[in-house]
Structure 1
Amino acid sequence: MRIYVAGHRGMVGGAILGKLEARKAAGESIDVITRTREELNLTNQAEVGDFMASENLDVVILAAAKVGGIHANNTYPADFIYENLMIECNVIHQAFANGVTRLLQLGSSCIYPKAAAQPMKESALLTGILEPTNEPYAIAKIAGIKLCESYNRQHGVDFRSVMPTNLYGPGDNFHPENSHVLPALLRRFHEAKQSGAEEVTIWGSGEPRREFLHVQDMADASLFVLELDRATYEANTLKMLSHINVGTGSDISIMDLARLVANVIGFKGRILNDTSKPDGTMRKLMDVSRLTEMGWRAQISLEEGVAQTYEWFLNSPHIRS
């Protein structure tokens, strides 16, 4: 089986690639195909078409995306909607055009309305207004779901989508301005401890609640959903609802998360709030009952996962520059 992992150098794509390579080493008949951004520009339709035509692929895993936190989404909204739309359109269409019958697309929990009932069910999609701070990215991800649905309906292919909650872990982006909340906190508390600072200020009130899933759990869930037989998958997505939530089913306030990160790192100072900065959506918790009923649940606790991520961070000096 020839499997193309788009975005293999990203956090999730890298975790999925590692699991596929481990299976191959254990004797499974798998050929994993990858291309770097320099080798293949996924926003270029002609390049993607030529690549798909030459590789005779059986499965495509679309983990490539332009991602970032609140600051990045607010600062570069055109980049986020354009690049993600182009990647999805090119990869999904060219996969179909070149005979790929099974594809897995990775999305994001930001697809759901800002005021969606909690926990958020798959059926909440397109039932309300999106969170303004990441609306362009969310619209692109919704388009990816609808592309998969539409190709399934019109052409009978088996293109699936998984919608993860907030992800973290080895390989994350720890940039001081463009990272998500957990790696941003991890870096901030690490630097505060190193400098001997007496306090750390976090964005917003600290009251919003978020759910976090370790990237290795996400990789497990992605391959689990990809490999479900079609009848089981369609029965659990009501056939036309071709996306599945992936998460832990539990959440934590940003202030409690900051305390957890500080404890793991060993920072003993004060934690302050900058309420001039936006909170974003007050709560985002995924309803993962469909995936649980199918037989999968997360295995890595948040404290264990943060400790693992911090150890990786300490052993990766290049990402702290």
Structure 2
Amino acid sequence: MTAPAPQARQDTLTLLAPLLLVLSVSMPPLGGGLAKEVSQGHDILALAFLRNALAAAIMMVIVRPSLTRLTRAQWGAAAALGAALAIMNANFYLALARLPLGVAVAIEFLGPLAVAMVGAKRLVDYLWPLLAFGGVLLLTPLSGADRLDPLGLLFAIITAGAWAAYILLSRHAGRQIPGMTGLALALLFATLFTAPVGLPVSGPYLSSPEMLAKVAAVSMLSTLLPYALEFVALRRVSTALFGIMMAMEPALSAVVGLYLLGEVLSMSAVGAIALICLAAVGSSLTRRPAP
């Protein structure tokens, strides 16, 4: 007796979940590399705004949230999440304009590692953030890395803080707002928050079908496709495996930066990225499940 079609589909998705996870982790580095390439000679904040706007439009069409039924608390949770998302995306793109892709992505991973430290009670829980901090020190002038833009490093650190806030606010929004409505509204608010700095200078990106196609590709690779694939994969793989795969993103970004953008990193930068990846893997392996 053959399995019902829905069950067969679920079994197929379970088998494909690791592949979906690989794809979801590989896409943001490609999106970041494409964003850096597309923004050459143009205002990068306009690209951050357009990325949010396109993702928000698609999510609102897919989710179709009932806006009149939302409470004031739900609107507040979505707005806070959108603000964190806007700050994270805008500062990441500002960092991208000044730093190699792999370095910018590595530094932003301090955000999730800081969140992992919240409530830590074991010595090993403090080891991984300290290891990551050591990696960041390798990127500063203290280690002779005087070629890295200090302002770019500051933007990357702000991105890390915004990512930490985004993780915490996502949990809060998830409790307040059902389904994917919270994410759709957060993207809408992120669009509104980045519009004042991005909309007035977005003309060059909207001037030709080729540029529009590249903007759409950035939005799909950086936001929509990774979120969708993670949404499917996370139901079928362990959080430890997901964390390990996510920890590879700085290294993947360095590879994308090398082959797509020609960014050759110093040995200290390669060592820093390796330390941050190791810290992220270790944090995922030793993290205790939430009660």
Same-fold status (TM-score > 0.5): no
Structure with greater proportional strand content: 1
Structure of greater relative contact order (alpha carbons < 8 Å, 6+ residues apart): 2
Considering fraction of residues, name the structure with more helix.
2
Q: TM-score, normalised by structure 1?
A: 0.25
